[in-house]
Structure 1
């Protein structure tokens, strides 16, 4: 288009010449068919899942090193799993996926390309049987499954750097190194996000172990203490002195010995065992009886007398006398009687058994007097 504009300007010019040239090129079918690919569309990343192994991306790498490799990557933790195979059929793919699911569980979604091993009826039946949503990328647009494509590239580059050992040994070393290395996107290693812990490696030997450090300190303390001490032991029949923590001499001078069980005893007497058994019965009966009588008599008596005399006298000799007399008597008697009886009997019975075993050891000193040296009491309730 730029060359066409320059060629047109070298011969003529008219108003709006550039726009006319552009419209002509855009309307040309041959020009549009042979032009370069258009600019890429804006990036639309996959949504990051909140839990590990909920969405996985799969793809095959190979033929590489004489084999095919099924690459599985977790979208949450970027955990990488690789299974070498000789072929990439649907049955082999299902077998390897079942092996992976036995370790980490069944995911919610699986993303793959449109390979025949992922579009077959057997594979779709396997997805439906396990309740997995199968999403396939756009045809001839591998960036739609970019996580798996990038994992394949990382796998090939890592395997090329492993020069020693068999293919399985090199694969194990690569996977271990990849899983303990912090990922550029998450900032954490895939093992920390997948297993919630860091995998122990040879590099951990550089960091001192707290348990080993404490054990070494304790061993050093024991060595310093044991330089001023020696191992003690007793043999059967050996005479010993016993430390006295009560009143009297610090060490008891009487002869003692060690029996076959390794316990120390005193010569002259062995223990005598006395068993004491007692049964105490407690029985009590409490009777409570109460009678409450309530009696009340209310008498109301009233007498009202009204008496009036009216005399009327006039000159006309009219004389009248009116007498009014009335007596009203009101008498009422109210009797209230109530009887409340309360009776209760409480019986308390208890039996207490006390059993005790008393061991008494009698020693004979040098003077021949008997001396009480040991007494132990054991109570069983």
Structure 2
């Protein structure tokens, strides 16, 4: 009865967290990188971090246009090489047509994390915290932030090697006195590094999963509810994007991509939804993977429908949703 009650389902509590699903460890440095944009003291910074070595770069943006972010990434790719895969969130800079063209021309795969679920891009989020902390400390102590970044890149990780050693097979000279022999290049055994990283991740997953619970899988076409601002609204599951990411369609015709944690299966009757929505199987970032849909595909108004609206006639969006004119409230004198 509760599974069919609209009031109960709308105000139901959020789903519990699921067991941790760590990213696969790359086989070599700068093979997979993550990127994100953060703001500190009114200034925008893009951060780019290597999944293997944890070596990160921070830049200062003059504006937040997609072409500006692309130039910063090109600069890093020219220094360390073009990576095979870039992971980002669904910010407009990374879902634009310019970024899709950039990925295609430079030959790397671009994947996006589930909207409103920053945990799926956890390395970039954690690196943003580290960069902010270093910048704030340097500003408070009136020190050079570049020296702070340098010392961080020389600090050993849990695997026993520093980010600079993992990326460039050598320590970096800093203002801290160092024996010359330690600055000589030394090859790092990748098998030992991956083994230590796996042990560290296994320990993290063990403690994280103690309070986690797996959610049942969902099927295409299933009646569900999706969480929108602490409310669960009726929807229909359109497609499974794998990795706990699903594409859903709400009653108003809106199509969204959401993580499994924000989806709830119900026993309600299937809501009446428009079937005139585009095939999302082909709307992927860079045409590389089916899991790279944009964050949200909201109903848009085409020019033909705009002309129809001027004639005071009801028009239909390209996703098949009928748009009704807004009713105005008239105050009584």
TM normalised by structure 2 equals 0.51
Q: Deviations over 1:290-332 (max 9, x none)?
A: xxxxxxxxxxxxxxxxxxxxxxxxxxxxxxxxxxxxxxxxxxx
The aligned runs of 1:22-101 (5 Å cut-off) are 24-62=1-39, 64-101=40-77
Residue 171 (str. 1) matches residue 148 (str. 2): no
Structure-2 residue corresponding to 1:182: 156
Alpha-carbon separation, structure 1, partners of 2:3 and 2:15: 14
Alpha-carbon separation, structure 2, partners of 1:121 and 1:88: 15
Whose strand fraction is larger, Structure 1's or Structure 2's? 1
- Picking from 125, 132, 137, the partner of 1:156 is 132
RMSD of aligned alpha carbons? 2.1
Unaligned segments of structure 2, at least 5 residues? 183-333
Structure-1 residue corresponding to 2:173: 200
Name the SS for the 1:202 alignment partner: coil
Q: Deviations over 1:315-373 (max 9, x none)?
A: xxxxxxxxxxxxxxxxxxxxxxxxxxxxxxxxxxxxxxxxxxxxxxxxxxxxxxxxxxx
Whose helix fraction is larger, Structure 1's or Structure 2's? 2
Rg larger for: 1
Contact 2:36 2:124 in 1 (8 A): yes
Name the SS for the 1:122 alignment partner: helix
- Picking from 66, 71, 80, the partner of 1:104 is 80
Shift of 1:27: 4.1
Alpha-carbon separation, structure 2, partners of 1:196 and 1:208: 15
Name the SS for the 2:157 alignment partner: coil
Structure-2 residue corresponding to 1:370: none
Structure-2 residue corresponding to 1:118: 94
Contact 2:151 2:174 in 1 (8 A): no
TM normalised by structure 1 equals 0.45
Shift of 1:209: 7.2
Q: Which consecutive segments of 4 or more residues in structure 1 shift more than 6 A?
A: none
User: Does 1 or 2 have the higher relative contact order (CA < 8 Å, sep 6+)?
Assistant: 2
Alpha-carbon separation, structure 2, partners of 1:38 and 1:142: 16
Shift of 1:26: 4.2
Contact 1:164 1:170 in 2 (8 A): no
Alpha-carbon separation, structure 2, partners of 1:164 and 1:44: 37
Name the SS for the 1:84 alignment partner: coil
Shift of 1:204: 3.3
